[in-house]
Amino acid sequence: MSVKLLMGNEAIALGALRAGVSVTAGYPGTPSTEILETIAKERRDGVYVEWSVNEKAALELAAGASYAGARTLVTMKQVGLNVASDPLMSLAYIGVKGGMVIVVADDPGPISSQTEQDTRTFAKYSKLPCFDPSSPEEAYEMIGDAFELSEELHTPVLFRPTTRMCHATAPIDVAEPAFVGGGVLNAPFHFEKDPKWVIFPRLSVKNHALIEKRNRALSERFSDYNFNAVEGRSETFGIATGGVCYAYVKEALRRLDAEWVKVLKIATPFPFPQRLALDFLDSTECVFVIEELDPVIERELLYVAGAAGRAINIYGKEITENLPASGEYTVELLTEKLAAFLGIAYEPVGGGVPDAPPLPVRPPVLCAGCPHRASFYAVKKAMSGKKAVFCGDIGCYTLGNAQPLDMVDTCLCMGAGITIAQGLSRAEPDRAAFAFVGDSTFFASGITGIVNAVYNKNDMVLIVLDNRITAMTGGQTHPGIGKTLMGEATAALGIPAILRAIGVEPRVVNPLELDNAISAVKAAAWETGVRAVVFEYPCVNVAKPTGSASVNAEKCTGCGLCARELGCPALKVGDKAEIDASLCTGCNLCGQVCPFDAIEVTK
Amino acid sequence: MNILICGVGGQGVVYASKLLARQALERGETVHTAETIGMAQRGGSVVSHVRIGDNCPSPLIPKGDADVIIGLEPGETVRNLEYLKPGGVIAVATRAIPATAGGDYDAGKMFDYLKSLGVELIVVDAEEVFRRDGSYRNLNVEMVKAIQHLI
Ligand code: SF4
Ligand code: SF4
């Protein structure tokens, strides 16, 4: 045994390795990304790990390996599950052989996501068992249970941490031996041919019935699962909770000196442990349900109570509206609500910082020297005064919406900008429709949209922002880079070559050469059909700075144009322009914008 | 004991929390940490929560519960004041980092405000670190050193 400080995501990865996982795959997405990165770092020979092209590919690859008997792990963020839902819904009917755990990290808040969707609800919809750990310590243990259950019942299992747990660090006894079996090299797997692997309506009818029966049995079994529990001893009051809210509730009760209150903790929101819940309700007069996002536990308790004909007061977010229906919860909020529920006097803390001087505003911005700034600026200049609409996409470059660039008019989901642009130009043909897409998103789900445009003769200008990395999530590889997550060299797929194969001849430009960049966009905008400009320049977190810019105070008139046009965080203008040398990369974009040649770059 | 560390991206807030956590672990204490980084890549506000001791179930320190606030930047220190416990201590670095939204803010006013609160204030001179190292990179370590007597 040795105690290690592990982040929730690391705990999940080490727990999976300990459970003997052999094949692991996923697509980066905050807050799930570090799970696979940890596998890549800590794995031993025979454990396979990959960044798949998207979540659907990851899940299907893992399904194949599970068919052959390997234990597999798939990781993604909650919106990734939407991409993977096609294989997931069918795989729920087909099942697996080797244990398969799909980790889907939810993001209450949302802190860095498009939606606040709740994977516990998805579990119920897809009829798949779901584990909901409340701490990194618990996640480390629970993921092993998830693998056991999956393998025993031949079904994929969902595992749903949330942001605060993924990014919390806890001391964990990393058990020895750290690994139990596992690894492709250590266990020769074999796929047995059998009609059961081929989905047909007749098979689905049979399997659907079996799944419903299994889930009823599982509800019964989960009532005895050790991480589902009733704690405390009160008669009147009860609290039902799960996930990280369990930790918040414990802390709030401690603050209120009310640790005696009975708490029902739900670690398996689906199938819901009905017998355990009924026992809990039986010995309670009023229940307060505390959970972030969907009222999953609340509805289940109402259902259980109703079906059993129990008259009991159940408070929560849906019917009684005692808690916000959306957003992240905090200990502070819950302490206040619990005090009211329990009738304990409590003076709320917080309430802002009164009389403080105005605080600096720090919204997320594109980094100093970010090549996306140059690309956006070039398109903006090329299209100034013309009728145009700019569809953005998911990545750092969504930040192109901020002032002063203001170049993102729409953003929906991965790859959507490309197809939304086509719809816009169908509805409003006299307005040029642009779509910006990053390199990783291009591979993940951009290509089909371009094929659609070519096939249907839709009109659009595609702008690929190729910065040679998946930047938003912290710098992961993708198919264009020539390196796998295992560290091996591989083919680097060229985006221009792919476009050519689809029938689009792209203009390939360095966005930091501003004049060339503007002319390329102007030329593309002038043509009709599907046009493309590929801006190639590496992310500042990949490429070394090329130098550093400085202001020639004699030439600078202090006009402020550079800062006003570009919004580079290294640049500000008082009496004269000033450049923060610790941030500046020497990209020389401002030098090309300055009308007085006042900015000089030294290499 | 609850220690809240705040600053802006690139200042090494997370590293400082790792340092404190490792120290606690070496003393044989239980320690939990959590980071709130959000969408900020660089230049955004970053907060790290370090909770030393048993019975700290929540990964985040509740407001009004921090024994110590380590502020690598004066504006961020004021932003997170709500977390300070009555009687808590603030360690703050002198160097202000301008806002990304353009323009400086008045760091002098921040210090006047902090002083007006009547709480124990440990001021760490960032310029001294710069004179010694030629960079501000080790400011985070310096801040951790400055509160050692409180742990
Ligand atoms: S050269 Fe100008 S635009 Fe580029 S990083 Fe430096 S200050 Fe910013
Ligand atoms: S991380 Fe890279 S892509 Fe993202 S804003 Fe910074 S330079 Fe641009």
Question: At residue A262, what is the residue type?
Answer: K
Residues of B in contact with A254 (CB under 8 A): 55, 57
Residue nearest atom 4 of ligand 2, based on CA coordinates:
A396
Same domain, A279 and A194: no
Q: Is A540 in the pocket of ligand 1 (CB under 6 A)?
A: no
Rounded average pLDDT over B108-126: 94
A126 shares its domain with A253: no
Q: What is the pLDDT of residues A581-601, one digit of tens each?
A: 888 999 999 999 999 999 999
* Pocket perturbation via mutation, ligand 2, pick of A466, A476, A541, A587 by most ligand atoms within 8 A of CB: A541
Nearest to A349 among B45, B55, B64 (CB): B64
Domain that holds residue A589: 548-602
pLDDT-based confidence at A175, cuts 50/70/90?
confident
Atom 2 (ligand 2) nearest CA? A539
DSSP state, residue A181 = S
CB contact residues (below 8 A), chain A span 426-465, against chain B? none
CB contact, 8 Å: A367 with chain B?
Answer: yes
A40 and A97 housed in the same domain: yes
Cα dihedral A376, A378, A381, A382 sign: negative
- A282: in domain: yes
Q: Which of A167, A187, A222 is the last residue of a domain?
A: A222
The string of pLDDT tens digits covering residues A113-123 is 999 999 999 99
Number of domains in chain A: 4
A539 Cβ closer than 6 Å to some ligand 2 atom = yes
| A181, pLDDT greater than 60 | no
Q: Which of A323, A342, A361 is the last residue of a domain?
A: A342
Same domain for A211 and A63: yes
Has this prediction a pTM greater than 0.90? Answer: yes
- Which of A583, A587, A594 is the pocket-test mutation for ligand 1 (most atoms within 8 Å of CB)? A587
Q: What is the CATH number of the domain that holds A562?
A: 3.30.70.20
Would you say residue A77 lies in a domain?
yes
Instruction: Confirm whether A319 is domain-assigned.
Output: yes
* Same domain flag for A491 and A576: no
Q: Is A39 in the pocket of ligand 1 (CB under 6 A)?
A: no
What integer pLDDT is reported at residue A351 of this predicted model? 67
C-beta atoms of A247 and B57 within 8 A: yes
Q: Kindly state whether residues A47 and A190 are assigned to the same domain.
A: yes
Annotated domain spans of chain B:
2-150
Q: Would A175 be classed as within a structural domain? A: yes
In the three-class reduction of DSSP (H, G, I as helix; E, B as strand; rest coil), residue A169 is classed as strand
- The CATH number of B2-150 is 3.40.920.10
Q: Whose CA is nearest to atom 6 of ligand 1?
A: A584
The percent of residues above 90 in pLDDT, for chain B, comes to 79
For residue range A23-46, what is the model confidence (pLDDT) as tens digits? 999 999 999 999 999 999 998 888
Q: Tell me: the pLDDT tens digits for A210-220? A: 999 999 999 99
pLDDT band for position A70 (cuts 50, 70, 90): very high
> Per the domain annotation, does A473 fall within a domain?
yes
Q: Is A540 in the pocket of ligand 2 (CB under 6 A)?
A: yes
Question: A102: part of which helix (H) or strand (E)?
Answer: strand A100-105
- For residue A171, give the nearest of B31, B39, B62 by CB distance: B31
| CB pair distance less than 8 Å for B113 and A356 | yes
What is the CATH classification number for the domain harbouring A286? 3.40.50.920
Residue B36 pLDDT grade (very low, low, confident, very high; cuts 50, 70, 90):
confident
Instruction: Please indicate, yes or no, if residue A350 is contained in any of the structural domains.
Output: no
Q: Where are the beta strands (DSSP E) in chain B?
A: 2-8, 31-36, 45-52, 66-71, 84-93, 120-124
Are A507 and A525 part of one and the same domain?
A: yes
CATH number at residue A378: 3.40.50.970
Return the number of other C-beta atoms located less than 10 Å from residue A329's C-beta.
23
Same structural domain, A163 and A85: yes
Q: Could you give the CA distance from residue A317 to residue A291 in angstroms, rounded to a whole number?
A: 9
pLDDT of residue A234: 82
- Ligand nearest the Cα atom of residue A365: 2
Closest CA to B36 of B20, B50, B52: B50
Verify that A116 and A218 share a domain, yes or no: yes
Cα angle A83, A70, A139 (rounded to 5 degrees) comes to 65
